[in-house]
Amino acid sequence: MEMYADEESRGGIMEPEGIAEIKYRRDKILANMERLDETYARLKAESKDESRSAEERAKSGELLKARETALYPTFLQIAHHYVDLHDRVGRMEAKGCAKRAVWSEARRFFYWRLRRRLNEENVLARYATANPDLSLQDRRNLLVNLVQCDPSSNRQVAEWIEQNQAAIGAAMADVRSAYVSTKIVKFAETEKDGALKGLLAVLSTLSAEDKQALVSNLGLTGGQ
C-alpha cells in the first residue's frame, strides 16, 4: 500500500486544538513559558523565595499571574502550530507514512506508478512460485537486481519488465533450479535411502542422450 498527500493536507484525525488539549496541556505550556521567558521565570522564582517577605512574594505572585495571562494566548498558539506540524506532509514523508503528490502531473504519475506496481507484483508472484522459501524481501532484492534501468523512473521499470519477458523467464528458471537443487541436497542429507531411490527412478526415465550428458557433467566415463 502507498499513500500520497497534498501539500496542504493533514494526517491527523483531530484538529490541532484538540490534540494540544491531550498532548500539550497547560502544565507543559507553563513549563515552556518559564524556560523561554526570563521575566516569567524571575517572577516565579521570586514568588517562591522564602528569603523575601510575604508581601514581596505576594506582589511577585500578582505580577507573575499578570505575566502568565499576557503570554498564555501566544504560547497556546505556538503549541497549536507545533502540534499541527506533526500532521503535515513533510512529517508524514519523514516518517514514511506518505509521499508528496505533485498534482500537476498526477494523472501521468499514477498511470505509470500503477503500471509499474502491477508488473512488479507479477514478477514477485513468479519468484514465489519458483521458490516458495523466498521471503518477500528476498524476492524484492532479486527484482531490483533483475531490472536493468533507472529504478527511480516508474515508466522505465514498467516498460523494461514488459519488454524483457525472456530474461525474466530465464531468471525464474535459474531460481527454480537452485531451489530444486537445494531441496534434493537436504533430502539426501536427512533421508539418504529415499533420495537415492528417487534419483534412480528419475534416471530410469531419462533418454540415452540425457544419461550420456549426465555422465559427461559428472566427469565420469563408461557406458549408460
pLDDT digits (tens, 9 = 90+) for 131-164: 999 999 999 999 999 999 999 999 999 999 999 9
pLDDT digits (tens, 9 = 90+) for 41-67: 999 999 999 899 999 999 999 999 999
If one counts every other C-beta atom within 10 angstroms of the C-beta of residue 14, the result is: 14
61-65's contacts with Cβ under 8 Å and 24+ in sequence apart are 64/40
Distance between alpha carbon 218 and the CA centroid of its chain, in Å?
46
pLDDT of residue 205 exceeding 50, the answer is: yes
Give the pLDDT mean for 190-200. Answer: 76
pTM of the model: 0.61
Residue 10, classed as helix, strand or coil, is coil
Torsion of CA 63, 64, 65, 70, to 10 degrees: 90
CA 38, 42, 45, 51 dihedral sign is positive
Instruction: Please list, residue by residue across 49-60, b when 16 or more beta carbons sit within 10 angstroms of its beta carbon and e when fewer do.
Output: eeeeeeeebeeb
Q: Domain ranges in the chain?
A: 4-94, 106-186, 191-224
Mean pLDDT, the chain, as a whole number? 87
Most confidently predicted of 3-7, 16-20, 102-106: 16-20
Give the pLDDT mean for 109-137. Answer: 96
Q: What is the DSSP string of 78-104?
A: HHHHHHHHTTSHHHHHHTTS-EE--GG
